Amino acid sequence: MTKILINDVTLRDGMHALSHQYTVEQMVQIATQLDAAQVDLIEVSHGDGLNGNSVNYGFSRHTEAEYLTAVKGVLKHAKLAALLLPGIGTIDDMHMAKDCGVDTIRVATHCTEADISRQHIEAGRQLGLDVVGFLMMAHMIPAA
């Protein structure tokens, strides 16, 4: 039987609805419940991914390092993931995430620009992270 992997993005994509103002305590509380529910992968970062905490995309209440470290500290089952959009997040941001305990990096690009993710995917693999390529807006292009 094929195992289904559950990836929850509440602590990343959910940041948008709160203008990126989750507290560390809220992150920990939600992550603890997701972990207890046996969610496999919990994604944590600014809503626009690593290094999104900026004047361009909105400032978070805390740093990503604070969020990542706090959530990693309560996980017993789930692995910790973060999102990186090349052009917003950098390979240095990926190193920071790894240092904070991230297990999986999801590298997201617009579906027509997948080629710009190569160096980030390779860097994630070199760091020993599980790497996922994520093509955004794929529903907007015609099927081959």
> Phi and psi of 17, rounded to 5°?
-65, -25
Q: 16 an active-site residue? A: yes
E strands, the chain, are 7-8, 41-43, 79-84, 104-110, 130-136
| Burial class of 15 by CB neighbour count within 10 A (0 to 12, 13 to 18, 19+) | buried
Which residue in the list 16, 20, 62, 139 is annotated as catalytic?
Answer: 16
> Looking at the annotation, which residues are catalytic?
16
